[in-house]
Chains A and B, each alone.
Chain A
Amino acid sequence: MVEEALIAMTAQLARLGNPSSLHTHGRATRKTLEDAREVIAKEVGCLPSEVIFTASGTEANNTALKGLYWQGRDKGKHVVVISSIEHHAIVDPAHWLEVHEGAEIIQIPVNADGVIDLKFLTDLVATRGNEIAVISVMHANNETGVIQPIRTVVDIAGEIPVHTDAAQSFKKVPLSFAELGVYAMSLSAHKTGGPLGIGALILRRAVEIPALLHGGGQEREIRSGTLNAPAIVAFAAAAKSKYYDSAKVSALRDSFIAGITSALPEVIVNGLKADRLPGIVNITFPGTQSDTLLLLMDAQNISCSTGSACSAGVHEASHVLLAMGHNEVSAQSSLRFSFGATSTSADVDFAVSVLPDVITRGRAANLS
């Protein structure tokens, strides 16, 4: 967490008062919380009333996708369109809607650089637009960092509600809810230097969707439950903070790519030609298995990630890389490196210096 968020959270933890209560303590918490809402609204380019606090980005995604689907289904629309590279927090609720709620899921393919196929979407909207309840395309991919053309998606969609999962993008690249023109957008505090366990759904005013959680009627009756004031004020403090220097992080990323590709020319930087987030690089190391590399890198105190793991913890081929045209083997040979606000050029140099040996060992282990 960034320092401003830590200070704000600690101070708020010591204060009494349920923001829904009408007494003095309650009103005090309510005031602080609404201040936080306004801060976030300003940072994200929306109205304060459009901010709905949730317990996670996952909850925001579920609320948006299911709510917009149910709203559309009431008008006879049963198609849910998502991209083929969405986070599990969209893929899985979409699958759930298919199995339990009669939705038809259509996935928008991506090109080799990981950018969605706009022609596919245009054709789809032209032929089946009146059946589509919701289109959900992430703002930037969490594995490759590739930024998606959301504004164009909105233009193509016309009247169809568009949701975007912007958890990865907020504070990393310019992001404005109003300028994007989407109906709904998901955010997650811990991706922006805030605490774990708090997120937000930005939902256009006057769009009323069925709720997942019912109770006290908080958050426009779309998300009942006592508001987590300490986490919310910390989220706002992080959102306002200037801790993240995109230009600096981009420069570190680029020097890492230059270092790796010069030491190991055979590697593939996934999504290299696309517009990407500053802090994410996804690299395929032919002839290796990513879980072996992760272990060896971890032993050098370098944290990197593989695509994702199933519930048993087994690494699976990334559906994002598969969608970009990788096969199972090459997808399983890929690692994601993330650079943050506190990363330094010494970190980059160290990672570049240990990788060749790690790759050599990883290849040997793969052959054994």
Chain B
Amino acid sequence: MKLIAAMSGGVDSAVAAARAVEAGHDVIGVHLALSSNPQKYRSGARGCCTIEDSHDARRAADVIGIPFYIWDMAEEFHDGVVEDFLAEYAAGRTPNPCLRCNEKIKFAAVLDRARAMGFDGVVTGHYARTQISDSGKTLHRAVDHSKDQSYVLSVLTVEQIEGAIFPLGDTTKVDIRKEAEARGLAVAQKPDSHDICFVPSGDNAGWLRDRLGSEVGPIVDQNGVKIGEHKGAYTYTIGQRKGLGLTVPTADGSPRFVLKIEPVSNTVVVGAREDLAVTTMRGERAVWCGPAATDQHQRGFVQVRAHGAALPCSYFYDGNFLTAQLDEPLLGLATGQAMVIYDGDRVVGSATICETA
């Protein structure tokens, strides 16, 4: 196949490209420039689109022996990922930008462009697997569960999965680093990237405050009694305990947690740990990685965080909303996160959490 390998400058995408070449594909390396004003150097483990990273990607492509180009996706990334991130926080939700990037950039803008240019698909260094079954190509967890990235890929449609190649799904990260070393790739020991790539400082709250303002609002308890103040409700996450700055103690001295964020009144509601308990969640904008779920209740697992546990549940889809009922209550679930349904290690589909109870 003729493939585009998306190369971030990290070890995973470099090995993925090398493996695709070895598998006999005709591969071209592409580095996505996602910032219109990139930093010169990486600071620690943050960010993945500095000039240094693009040089690392180019060097890896040269060592592998494939052509290499840079595609400017800064505008698409800003409109599809950064703006969405801001709008979601402004609406009191907690978004996952990596998911949006896969949905709108890597397997949309890049894949569409690649297909139009005569390529068959896009290779990435994601830790996930695909399998061909009777119902077509399906998406599965990686063998290395600690690195599994199927959660952030759960927004891919069947058609997008058709064009996605994940060569690393069968290997552990430790072995990928060893393989990179053996292949002479200088990025073999480069630190993993964490956090949000477009917030290079790692200070999400400060970054949001710069863009959304820092309007002071009340922190109230469940009875609506004001017990503190905050500088922007959107910098809080459901279930958050630290950094509330509350000086009025609870009667029994137990800690308080963020229960609710009300963007319109700019209010943060706090309460006891047990009030965080969620047994039912509803999600909108469902995407199916295979056949769609139906209104028949089915058994499966739901995952609500990128590296969270798979929670046993039953789920159904009424055509508008995906609902999951947990066997055991979960503490602290933020709206805006993705709820991803698994059937064993197969990704059934996902939706954006809009309601919990």
Contact = CB atoms under 8 A, between A and B. Distances in A.
Interface of A: 291-292, 294-296, 298-299, 309, 311-315, 361-362, 364-368
Given A292-B113, A296-B117, A312 B28 contact: no
For the complex of A and B, list the 5 residue pairs with the smallest distance between their C-beta atoms, beginning with the closest. A368-B112, A313-B70, A365-B116, A364-B116, A368-B116
Given A312-B33, A313-B58, A365-B113, A291 B51 contact: no
Contacts of B58: 313
Please indicate which of the listed interface residues A295, A312, A362, A364 has the most CB atoms of chain B within 10 Å of its own CB. Answer: A312
A313 B28 contact: no
Given A296-B118, A312-B33, 8 more contacts: A294-B69, A295-B67, A296-B117, A299-B67, A361-B116, A361-B117, A362-B117, A368-B109
A314 B72 contact: yes
B112 A313 contact: no
Given A295-B28, A298-B67, A361-B118, A315 B72 contact: yes
Q: Helix, strand, loop or mixed for chain B's interface?
A: mixed
A327 to B, nearest CB: 16
A368 B58 CA distance: 25
Interface string B188-200: 0000000000000
Nearest to A295: B69
Interface of B: 28, 31, 33, 38, 40, 51, 54, 58, 67, 69-72, 74, 109, 112-113, 115-118
A313 B113 contact: no
A294 B117 CA distance: 12
Please indicate which of the listed interface residues A298, A309, A314, A365 has the most CB atoms of chain B within 10 Å of its own CB. Answer: A314
A311 B115 CA distance: 28
Nearest to B35: A312
A312 B115 CA distance: 25
A314 B28 CA distance: 17
B115 A368 contact: yes
Nearest to A357: B118
B113 A291 contact: no
A362 B72 CA distance: 15
22 contacts: A291-B71, A294-B69, A296-B118, A298-B67, A299-B67, A311-B51, A312-B33, A312-B51, A312-B54, A312-B70, A313-B33, A313-B54, A313-B58, A315-B70, A362-B117, A364-B116, A364-B117, A365-B116, A368-B109, A368-B113, A368-B115, A368-B116
Given A313-B33, A314-B33, A295 B72 contact: no
